[in-house]
C-alpha cells in the first residue's frame, strides 16, 4: 500500500520537478547606453536609438531599477545605487 501511495505521489510531483528553466531577459539594444557618474552618485541611461525602448538597469550587489520608457534622445538618472551596473535589459 505504501509503495502505491509513494508512486502516485511521485506521479503528481514529477511534472513540477522537470519544468523548463526561466529564459533570460533580452538585453537592451546597444544604442541605449549608460554611464556611471560617481561624482554625483548616479547612473545615467540615454536612449540614442531612433525608436522608444523600455529598459531597466540590472545592478550587481543591489536592487535593480524599475522599468523606464525612454523616447529617442531621452535620458533618465538613477541616484544612489548601492551596487554596480551589470547590464541593461528590455522590459
The 10s digit of each residue's pLDDT in 14-49 is 554 454 444 568 999 999 999 987 777 788 999 999
CATH number at residue 74: 2.60.40.20
Cell numbers placing 30: 546597444
Could you give the 3-state DSSP secondary structure of residue 16? helix
Looking at the domain assignment, is residue 37 inside a domain?
Answer: yes
**Tens digit of each residue's pLDDT (9 = 90 or more) over 43-70:** 899 999 999 999 999 988 888 899 999 9
- With a CB cutoff of 8 Å and minimum separation 6, the contacts of 63 are 82, 83
Is residue 5 in some structural domain?
no
d(CA 43, CA 88): 11
- The pLDDT of residue 11 is 55
Task: Give the rounded distance of the alpha carbon of 49 from its chain centre.
Answer: 20
Task: Tell me the Ramachandran region of residue 54: left when phi exceeds 0, alpha when psi lies from -120 to 50, beta otherwise.
Answer: beta
How many domains is the chain built from?
1
Amino acid at each position: 500500500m505504501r509503495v502505491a501511495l509513494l508512486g502516485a505521489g511521485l506521479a503528481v510531483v514529477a511534472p513540477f520537478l522537470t519544468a523548463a528553466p526561466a529564459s533570460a531577459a533580452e538585453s537592451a539594444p546597444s544604442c541605449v547606453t549608460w554611464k556611471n557618474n560617481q561624482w554625483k552618485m548616479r547612473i545615467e541611461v540615454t536612449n540614442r536609438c531612433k525608436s522608444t525602448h523600455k529598459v531597466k538597469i540590472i545592478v550587481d550587489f543591489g536592487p535593480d531599477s524599475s522599468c523606464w520608457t525612454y523616447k529617442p534622445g531621452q535620458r533618465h538618472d538613477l541616484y544612489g545605487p548601492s551596487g554596480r551596473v551589470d547590464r541593461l535589459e528590455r522590459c
